[in-house]
Amino acid sequence: MASKSVAVETPRPWRAAIAWMALVLGPGFFLVYGLCNELTALRNEIGSFFFDWERRIPVLPWTIVPYWSLDVFYAFSVLLCRDRLELDRHALRIVTAVLLSAGGFLLFPLRFGFPRPEVDGLFGPLFEALHGFDRPFNQAPSLHISLGLILWYLYAKNTRGPWRWLLHGWFVLIGLSTLTTWQHHVIDLPAGALVGAIAFWLFPDPRPETVGKTVAYRPLGGDRLAGRYLAGALLGLALAVQGGYWLLFLWPSLALGAVAVAYAGVGPTIFRKRGGRLALAASWALAPYLIGQALVWRGYRQRMALPFGEVSPGVFVGARLDRREALVFAAAHPRRLVLDLTGDFTEAASLREGDYVNLQWLDWTEPSPAILRDAAAYIEMALQQEKTVFVHCALGYARSARAVAHWLVVTGRARSLEEAIEQVRAVRPGIVVTSKRLACTPARGFA
């Protein structure tokens, strides 16, 4: 008789969930939020940041209901978590959002810019309760928005069908209610969304490896670039503390600070790239840096005659391809391996569909012996399987050139690294690989 396997459902962490809410998330929120209000009230001059047209946003008394409803979603959210990992990550996102927002409230204090109207009738008591607890401070970033995103994500994972669409609509109302109850100005909303994105970026859900293989390597020799990015971050912070529109520099300051940490030793894991795609939260949190990178890439690509060249039969080396170029390459080479050496770009969808390997190596850093060994092994294995190989970095001038040159040497296709580099240079004339860099490259062997 054939035996049947029965899946055993892991019991939900009820006790841990109640402990998180009763001991940390509940009292912690009220303590931190209230303390920020009290400390800000002691300051003499508190500015405001709003646009004149915001005075024409109507007060809609009924929207106090979705506004207050976030508290209910907040209280019961921990009970939805299926296991301890999900619970802890959810709770840590909330803690992160509260603490980052508190830092914003205290370092860049703002108040609501014009008097709030008196609301009578059915919804009047709800407004009175809100104003009794919440002073006109704690504006940017909007904690209502950041917590709303965190809660929205969790509840959406646990609803299906029409209920899910109803949930989406309700959370949109919660977001809009921050304006129609005159609790926040417009600038507070994207600031709150950024805090939410940072919380997801720091504590992401584990993502299964559904496409290819991903390995991130810690950088070597990135200290100088780390210092430059740190200087940029400090400059942005110095501008942000001037207040007003200068506050907008806080976002690039945070992004450059994170990149400085990556080059200082943490590596490309800060971009949360898996299966060839950057995590959405990382894309938002690091958007100023990523937009800059994309503009630089586009500028160089427009001046580039050909994006890749064939350095050896079946082995192409070059730059990251755009969507159209990737479709053409994929159609021309259905049996292929794409070896992506970038950690801060999303790979074109058509190139992720075949065999895809992402060995993440920060630009302008030295390669570790491991990444050169692994790259060479993947190239040789693919060739033995009669596949075309495309090795690329962002522009095809440094990382991909060194990886392919190393493969040429260790497989005997070149007698020295200098000869290998010249072979690559013949098809990629713009490569930037100096003799100093070659001296750091291991000469032979897969192991």
Q: Could you tell me the CATH number of the domain that includes residue 379?
A: 3.90.190.10
Query: Which DSSP category does 429 fall into?
Result: T
Q: Quick count: other Cβ atoms within 10 Å of Cβ 205?
A: 13
Q: Is residue 8 part of a domain?
A: no
pLDDT 10s digits, 98-130: 999 999 999 888 888 888 888 888 888 998 888
Q: Is the pLDDT of residue 132 over 80?
A: no
The per-residue pLDDT for 209 is: 59
Q: Which of 178, 202, 189, 88 is nearest to 140 (CA)?
A: 189
440 annotated active-site: no
Domain boundary among 202, 217, 240: 202
| Same domain assignment for residues 165 and 40 | yes
Active-site residue, from 36, 81, 393, 440: 393
**Average confidence (pLDDT) over 87-101:** 96
In a domain, 396, yes or no: yes
Look at residues 156, 178, 202 and tell me which one is the last residue of a structural domain.
202
CB count, 10 Å around CB of 86?
A: 18
Residue 111 CB contacts under 8 Å (≥ 6 apart), including other chains? 40, 46, 47, 48, 136, 137, 139
Q: Which residue has the tokens 């009820």?
A: 14
- What are the tens digits of pLDDT across the range 371-416? 999 999 999 999 999 999 999 999 999 999 999 999 999 999 999 9
Mean pLDDT of 315-329: 96
CA distances (Å), origin 393, targets 30, 294, 361: 48, 13, 9
Whole-number average pLDDT of the chain: 90
- What is the pTM (predicted TM-score) of this model? 0.86
pLDDT in the model for residue 441: 53
Alpha-carbon dihedral sign for residues 284, 286, 288, 293: negative
78, part of any domain: yes
End-of-domain residue from the set 181, 202, 223: 202
Domain hosting residue 53, numbered range: 14-202
In a domain, 225, yes or no: no
pLDDT of residue 224: 95
| Residue 6 pLDDT greater than 70, yes or no | no
Indicate if 188 and 326 belong to the same structural domain: no
Same domain, 198 and 344: no
Torsion of CA 272, 278, 284, 285, to 10 degrees: 20
Q: How many domains does the chain have?
A: 2
**DSSP 8-state code for residue 411:** T
**Looking at the domain assignment, is residue 119 inside a domain?**
yes
397, part of any domain? yes
- Alpha-carbon gap, residue 338 to 224, rounded angstroms: 31
Confidence of residue 11 (pLDDT cuts 50, 70, 90): confident
- As a three-state string, the secondary structure of 368-392 is CHHHHHHHHHHHHHHHHCCCEEEEE
Q: Say whether pLDDT at 5 is over 60.
A: no
Enclosing H/E stretch for 316: strand 315-318
Residue 41 belongs to a domain with what CATH number? 1.20.144
Q: Is residue 115 one of the residues assigned to a domain?
A: yes
- Residues 63, 180: Cα–Cα separation, whole Å: 7
Residue 286, both tokens: 């690091």
What pLDDT does residue 438 have?
53
Establish if 252 belongs to a structural domain: no
Q: What is the arithmetic mean of pLDDT over 317-345?
A: 95
Per-residue pLDDT tens digits for 342-373: 999 999 999 998 899 999 999 999 998 999 99
